[in-house]
Structure 1
């Protein structure tokens, strides 16, 4: 029984890259993330080929940014496994860092110097408007306005967001 629970849990430390894989060409959020990842890879690679492929990925990035209606910068700090089921209206500051296997719904705003842990789910319309830290496996409710730190496993809801009890695993 314990093994089935641990298998079902998504890791907060190891990125599940399959969550970002596009099955079809018309998966705008996954295509946008692919452009960001490729741009960052080729920028690190450098050289003439890297310069050319960075330019190509910038063009693709701009296309997918318009299609999705997002403002996620090319130099963002996002670890693998990010899911954006409805990407429209998502705004992420370049200095914010997002851990692995997170889930972000539409109309979310994340400001500068926010640190989001692994496997954090952020509901639609949530605003993280101060430099805060959100722990692993935390939940941010829809339309919550987060102005304080959220401990690991906790749930934050409301305006301003209040911390509810931590999730517990029943075995």
Structure 2
């Protein structure tokens, strides 16, 4: 079954090969089919998994998302009104359903963002952040304990 990341990959490929119109068209196809916004200009690493095909995910076009990251439904990765720039997500990060990652911040490798957390500050590698506003509740975690595709393969 096709999902939003697969549509993004085709659009990104067309963008990198300077094929006009197709990338933007595929952005809107993804929006129509999956009710999400994963623009071709965002930089998304390999083996990224989106929950429920990408349902309600919104990603800023300047966002950077590392390899092996899992993003559940309803997640927003975007900017804020106070600073220029958007989030940079590390490798093998888990982002729970409904989480909001806002502003020019960095989420470290192997971090876990809890469901409905609102993250406006950096999260160090191998930490769990939860709440509104998000705060660190665990450190030195093993990301594979939280990542579905890593734990089950």
Q: Report TM bin, short chain.
A: 0.7 to 0.9
SS at match of 2:133: coil
Alpha-carbon distance in 2 for matches of 1:144, 1:114: 15
Q: Which runs of 5+ in 1 are unaligned?
A: 1-25
Say whether the 8 Å CA contact 2:30–2:37 is kept in structure 1.
Answer: no
Higher strand share: 2
Q: CA, structure 1 residues 162+121, in 2 after alignment: closer, same or farther (shift >3 Å)?
A: same
Question: Which runs of at least 4 in structure 1 moved beyond 4 Å after TM superposition?
Answer: 57-61
Checking the alignment, whether the CA contact within 8 Å between 1:130 and 1:147 is kept in structure 2 is yes
State whether residues 35 and 58 of structure 1, in contact with CA within 8 Å, keep that contact through their aligned partners in structure 2: no
Report the Cα offset of residue 58 of structure 1: 4.8
Distance in 1, Cα, partners of 2:55 & 2:6: 17
Between 1 and 2, higher relative CO (CA 8 Å, sep ≥ 6) is seen in 1
In structure 2, the residue matched to 1:98 is: 65
> Residue in 2 aligned with 1:142?
115
TM, length-normalised to structure 2: 0.79
After superposing the two structures, state which structure 1 stretch, 116-125 or 86-95, moved more.
Answer: 86-95
TM-score (normalizing by structure 1): 0.71
Name the structure 2 match of 1:43.
15
Name stretches of at least 5 consecutive residues in structure 2 with no aligned partner: 80-85, 143-153
Q: CA deviation at 1:88?
A: 1.4
Between stretches 127-136 and 115-124, larger displacement belongs to 127-136
After superposition, residues 1-171 of structure 1 pair within 5 angstroms as 26-27=1-2, 29=3, 32-46=4-18, 50-51=19-20, 55=22, 58-86=24-52, 87-112=54-79, 113-168=86-141
